[in-house]
Amino acid sequence: MAVETLKADALSRATDAQALGFRSTAELPDVDSAMGQDRAIAAIEFGVGIQREGYNLYVAGPTGIGKRTLVDQLLARHAGERGEASDWCYVNNFEDPSRPRALALPPGKGVQLKRDMEKLIERMLVTVPNVFRGDEYRRRISDIQEEYQEREGKLFGELNDEARGKGMVVIRTPGGYTIGPVREGKLMTPAQFNDMPKEEQELAKNVIEELNRRLKSIIESIHDWQEESTERVKGIDNEFIHDIIDPMLAALKSRYQMYPSVLEFLGAAHQDMAENIWDFMPNEQQEGSTPLRKKIFAMEHLRYHVNVLVDHDGAAGVPVLYEDNPTLQNVIGRIEHIAQMGTLVTNFSLIKPGALHRANGGYLVLDARKVLMNSFVWDALKRAIRSREIRIESIERILSMVSTTSLEPEPIALDVKIVLVGDRYIYHLLKEYDPEFSLYFKVNADFSDSMDRSPEAVGLYARVIATLARREKARALSAGGVARVIDQCARDAEDSHKLSLHLGDLVDLILQADFWAARENIALIEARHVDQAIAQRRFRNNRYQELLAEQIHRGVMLLATDGMQVGQINGLSVIQLGDYAFGRPSRITATARLGAGKLIDIERETELGGPLHSKGVMILSSFLARRYAQSQPLALSASIVFEQSYGRVDGDSASMAELVALLSAIAGIPIRQDLAMTGSVNQLGEMQAIGGVNEKIEGFFDVCAARGLSGTQGVVIPASNVQHLMLKPEVVEACRAGNFHVHAASAVDDVIALLTGLPAGAMREDGSFDAGSVNERVRARLHELAEIGRKHSGGGDDKPAGNGKS
């Protein structure tokens, strides 16, 4: 196939605004479904629908393509169909406070239980003091006290009467009771007692001893009565306690009789309140000074509270949650601490929920990259999926870094569908290096980067543009504006037969065009506003591109755009700076001399060349040997280099240009400098497609335009890249006027003929080529070098040139 000089219509596939069938996007309805993402939608629907273990989703695609938007829409729709998610609470474990209990309740019941317990505490704080300070309680306690005081007084009265009858008296002192003889109505002193006759002393001592035995018996009876009195007081206390608590708790238990876990908690709280009833009596400092609401939340009453971890009251369906900052604590929850007496302590009320708690029963969406960047999160997430429960653990405890009072909350049962959103390379890395990934994320929803540019697709794309403009509150677009946006989206897809599905870039273009329309104060976004938005975006990003162009224009970077040179050609490469790419023409030179068949890639030798570039150079060596040296050694030493290249070079898109430069150097045939070339080559000499074809053509065009178009200048591209052409209007118009040209070629022979002006030459049966052709001159020169090499190898000390180490 000969080289084809492309017509202007083949350089860019423009959308016909008239054929769109509307005047502005205001006439178009919104689009409900995602455009061109049928495969991804089917995968998400399958992953969401199948309720089996391990069928979580990984949604793959580049940033800005609309993954999150589509996932949110689909999950929101399914969330309303799955019923309700449970509320989750933590309550005190009265048997072991370090292990709080978890309660699952229907939506709204968690907050209701919390309020009910607060009201119960409030009623207890009011009722308990009133009851135990009331007249009835005091009367009954007073009756008991009076009864026992009366019984005690009676016994001591009888003892006193008996003692007086025997000339003795019983006296109560601070140290107890004293019994002694009486004289003239007064207790005898020890001296008076000693003056008594011995017989009277002995008689008095016997009486005192007998009365002491009687006193001891009375005191023992009094102690028994005191214990009996205490038990009777306790009985009255218990009677009043149960009169207070039982009706309150009975009402609560009746309200929550359908929830066994709540009844168990209420039962334990009931018993604990009864045992610690005096905690509800204010102390002297609190009396009359502490507000009741503050007393409810006092530390001694916190054990009766309810920590509502997750509340779904009023929610329509199960939760759909996106966690933007997936740290370990934000995902699995945390236990907070408070400083107390110089140490950190905690309790069940300081347990805070994580994303898994809040999304439990529904869907949790996470950014895969952020999950992997946060320490311990990926392992914790897999552990939760594997065990189907949420277990709160702190980083400090995992690493044993801090010794503090902590809790071991009861794990919460986990029922959640996890959706990881990220790039494809993260998906494949996880698939390759984490054997558990395939067990837990069995569904891959892969978003397409582009869609076919069919008439139906163009109509749908116009509706998407209308939808996005309305959603972003931008102006409506005219048909011409829509056509220009569609053309740019084809350019972004690097294919005239495709349309980019990168919705982020599409929204940016609409908003930027809307800005320029607003500057003109007109109602519709026209094609010129889209062009201005594109031009201004390029201007904001092309400072480095302009600096390189200036260096070429001033002759600092050498690049010829006219004349003919041996072993020199204009190659084309693409420089990518973030999301901005531009073409850069570069001089490629080749040299050839007698040697041992070694083709030196200077870029590789200096460690500036990447593996793909090195592969392309190796293919050149294979091509030379196959075509020109099947029956003789390749006695050639050659070198190839990108001149004035000071950064890394990779890719094989310049391998065809390198081959032509090398053939020119071998045969000594000059090649045209008014043409630049891009395209890779295989071992058979076939020209293969490359990327960035539009940027490369425009890069050489800009240099030629700055110097003045001669009418012969142009670019040679692979024929297979013609379908990718979406060149900017300046290039198309220059080609239409015959001032610039884009040539499409399929094989090295076609390129040789165009660049040298000589026939490439067909191979004959004997291995030679047509006389006077480029191929024949290359073959003849290589044959000559081989003969020289043979002579040198048989000439004693002389060695073939090029056998030395380069």
Active site residue ranges: 653, 696
Q: How far is CA 574 from CA 583, 650, 656, 679, 697, in A?
A: 4, 10, 16, 12, 10
Q: Which amino acid is at 439?
A: L
Cβ neighbourhood burial of 287 (10 Å; 0-12, 13-18, 19+): exposed
Spatial CA neighbour of 806 closest among 598, 632, 648, 651 = 598
Whose structure tokens read 């048997």? Answer: 95
CA distance 404 to 392: 16
CA distance 70 to 80: 16
Beta bridge partners of 636: 594
Spell out the alpha helix ranges (H) of 323-443: 328-332, 355-359, 368-373, 377-387, 395-398, 424-433, 437-440
CA distance 533 to 512: 6
DSSP character string of 143-201: HHHHHHHHHHHHHHHHHHHHHHHTTEEEEEETTEEEEEEEETTEEPPHHHHHHS-HHHH
CA distance 398 to 402: 10
- Helix, strand, coil share (%) of the chain residues, nearest 5: 50, 20, 30
CA distance 771 to 764: 10
Whose structure tokens read 């009910």? Answer: 116
Q: How far is CA 546 from CA 552, 555, 681, 703, 706, in A?
A: 10, 14, 31, 10, 11
The helix (H) or strand (E) run that includes residue 585 is: strand 580-594
From the centroid of its chain, how far is CA 85? 24
CA distance 262 to 104: 9
CA distance 96 to 212: 52
CA distance 1 to 17: 35
User: DSSP strand E in 290-357: where?
Assistant: 306-310, 320-323, 334-335, 338-340, 343-345, 351-352
At a CB cut-off of 8 Å and minimum separation 6, what does 801 contact?
593, 594, 595, 637, 788, 789, 792
Q: Using an 8 Å Cβ cutoff, are 416 and 356 in contact?
A: yes
CA distance 676 to 713: 8
Spatial CA neighbour of 4 closest among 687, 580, 710 = 687
CA distance 385 to 58: 14
The two three-digit tokens of residue 797, written as one number: 């000390």
Q: Using an 8 Å Cβ cutoff, are 722 and 731 in contact?
A: no
The values of phi and psi at residue 609, to 5°, are -95, 140
Cβ neighbourhood burial of 370 (10 Å; 0-12, 13-18, 19+): middle
CA distance 423 to 67: 10
Cβ neighbourhood burial of 259 (10 Å; 0-12, 13-18, 19+): middle
CA distance 440 to 418: 9
Rounded to 5°, angle at Cα 484 from 478 and 488: 145
Q: Using an 8 Å Cβ cutoff, are 745 and 739 in contact?
A: no
